[in-house]
């Protein structure tokens, strides 16, 4: 699951870099990254709260990661909906 979260986070960053100015996006990480996503999501998805797993879990030891599959699916759906706009 940890690898999947890292990959999803990377995809999310790449998509954002294609849609927005590189100078605005490239240096963002952690809470600033999630806040930026929340402010720009056309559907009002709360990345600050729901996306926190993207900034925390990739850096935790594998045995400490406790992410529910539905949490990841929720993030994937949010990104998919964003891209469909």
> How far is residue 54's CA from residue 48's CA, in Å, rounded to a whole number?
10
- For residues 35 and 52, the answer to whether their CB atoms sit within 8 Å is no
DSSP state string for 14-83: HHHHHHS-HHHHTT--HHHHHHHHHHH-TT---HHHHTHHHHHGGGS-GGG----HHHHHHHHHHHHHHH
Average pLDDT, the chain: 89
Give the model confidence (pLDDT) of 56-69 as tens digits: 877 777 777 788 88
Enumerate the domain spans of the chain: 2-83
- Residue-level pLDDT at 85: 77
Q: What is the pTM of this model?
A: 0.85
């Amino acid at each position: 699951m940890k690898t999947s979260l890292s990959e999803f986070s990377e995809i999310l960053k790449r998509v954002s870099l294609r849609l927005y100015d590189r100078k605005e996006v490239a240096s963002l990480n952690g809470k600033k990254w999630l806040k930026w996503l929340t402010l720009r999501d056309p559907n009002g998805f709360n990345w600050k709260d729901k996306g926190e797993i993207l900034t925390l879990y990739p850096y935790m030891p594998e045995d400490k990661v406790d992410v529910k599959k539905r949490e990841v699916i929720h993030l994937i759906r949010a990104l998919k909906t964003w891209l469909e706009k």
